[in-house]
Amino acid sequence: MHHWSGLRQGGGRAVRISLVFVALAVGGFAGAGCGEFADRPEIAPSRAAAAGPDRYWEAPSPEAARDAALVADYRSTATVSGRTSLAELIDIALRNNPDTRRSWEAARAAAAAYGQAQAAYYPKVAFANTAGYTRFPFQTDPGPSIVRQWQTLPTFEATYTLIDFGRRAADSTIAEEESAAANFAMNRTIQTVVFAVQRGYYGLAAAEAAVAAAQQNVALAASDLESVDKRVNLGLATRPALLLARERRAQAEYELENARTMVNDARAALATAAGIAADRPFEIADLSHEALPTTLGAEVDDLIRQALGQRPDLAAAAARLHEAEAAEQRSHAEWYPTVGIDSRWGEDYWQYNFNGSPTITSGAPDAAALVTLRWDIFTGFYRLNDDRRAAAERAAQGEAVRALELATIAQVWSSYYDFQDGLKRNGYAQALLAAARASYADNALTYRRGLSTIVELLTAQRDLADARYTVIQARAELLSEAAAVVYAVGGLRLPGASH
């Protein structure tokens, strides 16, 4: 009977203590404010989303300020002064373009992961300590007895894997190949940024040349309008001819403004490729007198062989294939056991008393040295399907390499013949411009002498304007096509090229 009473009294004390904790928790929530608690995300998660499908979501002001500060921190601070050459802009791009910096950081992370994979070859040493106070009662007659104890158990632990049947080697190979792939990807990113700057530079140069050509066309249209106006005043031309000349001048002025718009667009594209904010002004060097490439220095078959041997993205794909092969070996290793060493050494110190008796201080060493063997006998067919998955991923990566190889061949082939056609187009464009200039000069002379009509003069003027734009476009396309061949081959320049 006394035993049951003791338990009941002990149970009553436990209930009272629990009620005290509950009251403290409720009081804490009440002190924090019912309204604030009701707005917490675990109670009202919908408050973190927009109020409805037709409502615009607005970030809380602290988060909005944080995000704005983050954008400001990462805003490009690169500046360009004076007229900048293509080589200078490429150097700026390689140091400031986010793509090159991101790929570099990714390569550094992969290199660190490769170093991290070597940790499995070393023993692991750790220190742990369990310390604190323990009060535990147990039932005795006539009443409960209590042991009060302070205890600490500092322990050093060391584990080492002796045999793992290729697990560590496979993990190391996976990390090594991933690091190689990341570095090859960075190399290709550098080539991509260089190519983007080249295209942007040639595009901006062409747009600025188009503005200069449009200004010449406006001047020609104004000169023709003046000539027609004089002839009308002399009674040698009709008013419809004057209106036609005015229409031609208005068309030339429209094309000039359109060309200026294209300059702004081209400058923004080049600034983005170079890692420069588009609102920072910069000028590029004049390319109108720069020699054009005339040869690539190699035939298409030689260029294809070069591309297959040096394209960084192909090398990255091959590294990922080796990574998949190592992952397949890692999967096979899971069928085998692991053997290792598990050891620890520590000292258990404690102070305790029993029912208020004098405190006893004691200690004892705690040590172990064990050889461990772990072998998963049955895993619910996990390893079997893991082998199947690894084999399929390895085969898929092999096909990815093959697909990229075919795409590389096609890219080199297309860019090579685009360049060859560009050489011919540039020659035809130069001949067209020379013929258009001669035609306009003859028509202007015969018109002043009354031997040709205003329609013939304006047609010749229109042909001259078109020829100027054609030469500018052909020149820019030829430069871009030469750069495209270099990019397709996977280099920064071609050793035997003329440019």
Considering the domain boundaries, does residue 498 fall inside one? Answer: no
Q: Do 388 and 359 share a domain, yes or no? A: no
Taking all residues of the chain, what is their mean pLDDT, rounded to a whole number? Answer: 85
If one compares 448 and 160, the residue with the highest pLDDT of the two is 160
The fraction of the chain above a pLDDT of 90, given in percent, is 49
Least confident of 17-31, 58-72, 225-239: 17-31
Q: Do 322 and 406 share a domain, yes or no? A: yes
**What's the CA gap between 467 and 249, in Å, rounded?**
17
Q: Do 353 and 439 share a domain, yes or no? A: no
Considering the domain boundaries, does residue 178 fall inside one? Answer: yes
- Cis bond upstream, residue 142 (ω within 30): yes
The fraction of the chain above a pLDDT of 70, given in percent, is 87
pLDDT digits (tens, 9 = 90+) for 57-92: 776 666 655 655 555 555 555 666 667 888 889 999
Phi, psi (degrees; rounded to nearest 5) at 4: -65, -40
Q: Which residues pair with 8 in a beta bridge?
A: none
Domain's final residue, options 320, 349, 374 = 374
Q: Which 3 state secondary structure label does DSSP give 97?
A: coil
Q: Do 245 and 332 share a domain, yes or no? A: yes
Q: Do 303 and 330 share a domain, yes or no? A: yes
- Residue-level pLDDT at 74: 53
Q: Do 344 and 459 share a domain, yes or no? A: no
Considering the domain boundaries, does residue 78 fall inside one? Answer: no
Considering the domain boundaries, does residue 51 fall inside one? Answer: no
User: Mind spelling out the 3-state secondary structure of 315-357?
Assistant: HHHHHHHHHHHHHHHHHHHCCCCEEEEEEEEEEEEEEEEECCC
Confidence of residue 5 (pLDDT cuts 50, 70, 90): very low
- Residue-level pLDDT at 370: 95
Considering the domain boundaries, does residue 70 fall inside one? Answer: no
Q: Write the CB contacts of 66 (distance below 8 Å, at least 6 apart in sequence).
A: none
pLDDT digits (tens, 9 = 90+) for 329-353: 999 999 999 999 999 999 888 887 8
Residues 398-426, mean pLDDT to the nearest whole number: 96
Phi-psi domain of 227 (left: phi exceeds 0; alpha: psi -120 through 50; beta: other): alpha
Q: Do 298 and 200 share a domain, yes or no? A: yes
Q: Please check whether residue 100 is in contact with residue 93, taking contact to mean a CB–CB distance below 8 angstroms.
A: yes
Does residue 22 register a pLDDT over 60?
Answer: no
Task: Report the amino acid identity of residue 282.
Answer: F
Q: What is the DSSP letter of 291?
A: P
Q: Do 346 and 485 share a domain, yes or no? A: no
**What's the CA gap between 89 and 194, in Å, rounded?**
9
Q: Do 182 and 240 share a domain, yes or no? A: yes
Domain containing residue 155: CATH number: 2.20.200
Q: Do 307 and 387 share a domain, yes or no? A: yes
- Residue-level pLDDT at 251: 87
Q: Do 176 and 147 share a domain, yes or no? A: no
Considering the domain boundaries, does residue 390 fall inside one? Answer: yes
- Domains in the chain, number: 3
Considering the domain boundaries, does residue 173 fall inside one? Answer: yes
pLDDT digits (tens, 9 = 90+) for 249-277: 898 899 889 989 999 999 999 999 999 88
Domain with 26, as residue range(s), is 1-46
Residues 391-401, mean pLDDT to the nearest whole number: 97
Considering the domain boundaries, does residue 56 fall inside one? Answer: no
- Residue-level pLDDT at 296: 87
Domain containing residue 209: CATH number: 1.20.1600.10
Q: What is the DSSP letter of 187?
A: H
Q: Do 284 and 405 share a domain, yes or no? A: yes
